């Protein structure tokens, strides 16, 4: 039986968002390989900082929405951490980017 109404709309939105995330992920991978072209070679501290800034600048210029930017930033952090474990990089990227507010308390003390 096919979904109709609200359920069909939710499923279509979910498929569309997954498609957008796949395209965004491939775009981020190109930005990371542009900033860090050879992960086997450990960069110097200065080169690492310049490449990270270049990656962030490219993300600023090409990614529009806040949730896509958060996804791109966190994907970059994960990639650098993977480089750290796989290739022995001594550097750590900045912490993850979180952009949601804490829920308001409904009750007071």
Helix-helix angle 66-87:6-35, to 10 degrees: 50
E-only strand ranges, the chain: none
Task: Give the residue-averaged pLDDT of 60-87.
Answer: 90
> pTM value?
0.76
Tell me which residue of 103, 84, 101 sits closest to 36, measured CA to CA.
84
pLDDT value, residue 109: 63
| pLDDT for residue 99 is more than 80 | no
Mean pLDDT score of the chain = 86
Tell me which residue of 63, 59, 71, 70 sits closest to 31, measured CA to CA.
59
Task: Give the residue-averaged pLDDT of 66-77.
Answer: 90
| pLDDT for residue 30 is more than 80 | yes
Cβ-proximal residues to 34 (8 Å cutoff; 6+ apart), any chain: 54, 55, 58
| pLDDT for residue 1 is more than 60 | no
Rounded CA separation 55/58 (Å):
5
Domain boundaries, the chain: 22-87
| pLDDT for residue 11 is more than 70 | yes
Rounded CA separation 77/96 (Å):
7
pLDDT value, residue 108: 67
């Amino acid at each position: 039986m096919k979904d109709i109404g609200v359920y069909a709309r939710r499923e279509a939105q979910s498929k569309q968002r997954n498609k957008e995330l796949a395209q965004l992920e491939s775009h981020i991978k190109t930005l990371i390989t542009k900033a860090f072209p050879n992960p086997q070679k450990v960069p110097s501290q200065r080169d690492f900082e310049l490449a990270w800034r270049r990656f962030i600048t490219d993300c600023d210029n090409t990614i529009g929405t806040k949730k896509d930017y958060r996804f791109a930033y966190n994907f970059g952090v994960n990639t650098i951490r993977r480089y750290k474990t796989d290739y022995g990089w001594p550097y750590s990227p900045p912490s993850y980017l979180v952009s949601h507010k804490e829920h308001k308390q409904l009750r007071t003390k």
